[in-house]
Amino acid sequence: MKYWLYLLCIFFSIDAFCQIGGNSTYEFLRLPNSARITALGGSLITVRDADLNLAYHNPAALNPLMHRRIVFNQSVHMGTTHGYVGYGHYIDQGKVPIMVHAGLQYISYGKFLNRDVTGTYTGETSAAEYAINLGVGYQVSKFLSLGVNQKTILSYLGSYNSTGFAFDASAMYSDTSRKINLTVALKNMGSQFSTYNRSGNMEPIPFDLQIGIAHRLKYIPLRFSVIMHNIHQWGIVYDDPYNQDNQTLFTNNGAEQDNSAMTVVDDIFRHFIFNIELLFGKKGQQEVFRLAAGYNHMRRGELTASGLNDLAGFSFGVAIRIKQFQIDYGFGGYHFTGASHHFGISVNLDEILKGTQRKRHNKNAKLKKTKKAPTE
């Protein structure tokens, strides 16, 4: 038993007093892959429904409702374009039915002008990164599901290239009678295959340990989630030597805060993401309309501008279902100079096929009825 305690102490002491910004490569892996997740503060590991986008951050959320579903997402933020496409498939062959999915996350930083030491223009260069994602989920019991993702990472930053790999592993407890979900997710465990420089010095990738809980109210169509992120390390506050008043617990008034207790509270809340969803639809069916809002305190603490009231850390969104299509929009507040606007669309191939067959059947029935009608 004591050996396990030693291992736990070593694990939780890694980077225990380090900030997370700038300590790793492939930071685009932290970005929300869908408009819904953008609207909910950047993370949603606590929900298990028909949304295939959820499997990218929590493979244990994979379930048969995602069978033959395709998702497309695109966001625009400060001159960069970021998107995600994915497909899910349910395999019920043999004694172990599983749900699998495949997806591609990409980000383009645009084009840059190349100049030499004298300032002479020498051409243009581009920068982009990709993560090819393959995942599988398995329902262990009525309440417990497990999942694993594997990501192959390709990074092209001008003349510097790098490749790597990452794994996600998660476990999800779902109690449908009490409408409670509990999730533990280990995200981005891996390393580089090749480095940007010739020295071969490996850079860490953005590992994250998350725990989340969600509860849907019984008589009100409201679901709220609380997610803890980066809980494997304590100090995630950036120690800015030019701004000693960076404790911004739900405020932005620039007031002097010398109370060390407030500093501790602020650091604790930087590990939390809060979000809610209002769900409208027929009982037992997918929602036809959804409103979402979230608050990410770490984002607000790092990106809010002193003396200005902006929306850094706050997010919101809306989703609507039109026949076989689900359309999402998410707004993510990052800085007063710009925000992230995220758009998404998902469709189920089986629903499209059924709709086509239904139209064909109705057309044939109408033709038969016309032929049988008596002529004058």
Q: What is the pLDDT of residues 112-158, one digit of tens each?
A: 888 888 888 888 888 999 999 999 999 999 999 999 999 999 999 98
Query: What whole-number distance in Å separates Cα of residue 125 and Cα of residue 306?
Result: 35
Those residues with Cβ within 8 angstroms of residue 214's Cβ, 6 or more apart along the chain or in another chain: 46, 47, 180, 181, 223, 224, 225, 226
pLDDT at res. 219? 87
Residues 211/226, Cβ–Cβ less than 8 Å: no
Quick one: pLDDT band at residue 3, thresholds 50, 70, 90? Answer: very low
pLDDT at res. 17? 39
Quick one: pLDDT band at residue 255, thresholds 50, 70, 90? Answer: very low
Query: What whole-number distance in Å separates Cα of residue 148 and Cα of residue 59?
Result: 6
pLDDT at res. 240? 59
pLDDT at res. 368? 61
pTM here? 0.82
Residue 358: half-sphere exposure toward Cβ, Cα within 13 Å: 6
> Lowest mean pLDDT: which of 185-189, 272-276, 333-337?
333-337
> Does residue 197 surpass a pLDDT of 90?
no
Q: Which two tokens stand for residue 59?
A: 């493979």
Query: What whole-number distance in Å separates Cα of residue 144 and Cα of residue 133?
Result: 23
pLDDT at res. 357? 59
Quick one: pLDDT band at residue 18, thresholds 50, 70, 90? Answer: very low
Q: Which of 40, 127, 138, 45 is nearest to 97 (CA)?
A: 138
pLDDT at res. 2? 42
Query: What whole-number distance in Å separates Cα of residue 13 and Cα of residue 2?
Result: 17
Q: Mean per-residue pLDDT for 39-68?
A: 94
pLDDT at res. 1? 41
pLDDT at res. 365? 57
Those residues with Cβ within 8 angstroms of residue 358's Cβ, 6 or more apart along the chain or in another chain: none
Q: Which two tokens stand for residue 248?
A: 């911004």
pLDDT digits (tens, 9 = 90+) for 159-180: 889 999 999 999 999 998 999 9
Residues 313/334, Cβ–Cβ less than 8 Å: no
Residues 198/215, Cβ–Cβ less than 8 Å: no
Query: What whole-number distance in Å separates Cα of residue 240 and Cα of residue 303?
Result: 12
> Does residue 198 surpass a pLDDT of 60?
yes
Quick one: pLDDT band at residue 4, thresholds 50, 70, 90? Answer: very low
pLDDT at res. 371? 59
Residues 330/39, Cβ–Cβ less than 8 Å: yes
pLDDT digits (tens, 9 = 90+) for 291-348: 999 999 988 888 877 766 678 889 999 999 988 899 999 999 887 777 889 999 999 9
Query: What whole-number distance in Å separates Cα of residue 53 and Cα of residue 44?
Result: 10
Q: Which of 326, 293, 273 is nearest to 39 (CA)?
A: 293
Query: What whole-number distance in Å separates Cα of residue 126 and Cα of residue 116?
Result: 17
Residues 328/319, Cβ–Cβ less than 8 Å: yes
> Does residue 256 surpass a pLDDT of 50?
no
Q: Mean per-residue pLDDT for 66-79?
A: 89
Residue 110 or residue 83, greater confidence: 83
Determine what percent of the chain is predicted with pLDDT higher than 70.
80
pLDDT at res. 242? 57
> Does residue 278 surpass a pLDDT of 60?
yes
Cα–Cα separations (whole angstroms), residue 56 to 161, 178, 185 = 24, 26, 11
Ranked by mean pLDDT, the top range of 51-55, 233-237, 309-313, 335-339 is 51-55
In order, the DSSP letters of 259-301 are -HHHHHHHHHHTTEEEEEEEEES-TTS--SEEEEEEEEHHHHH
> Does residue 16 surpass a pLDDT of 80?
no
Q: Mean per-residue pLDDT for 101-106?
A: 96
What region does 313 belong to: left with phi over 0, alpha with psi -120 to 50, or beta? Answer: left
Residue 192 or residue 93, greater confidence: 192
- What value does the mean pLDDT of the chain take? 83
Q: What SS3 state is found at 351? A: helix
Residues 107/28, Cβ–Cβ less than 8 Å: yes
Determine the distance from the C-alpha atom of residue 206 to the mean position of all C-alpha atoms in its chain, rounded to a whole number. 14
Q: Mean per-residue pLDDT for 269-282?
A: 91
pLDDT at res. 22? 62
pLDDT at res. 366? 60
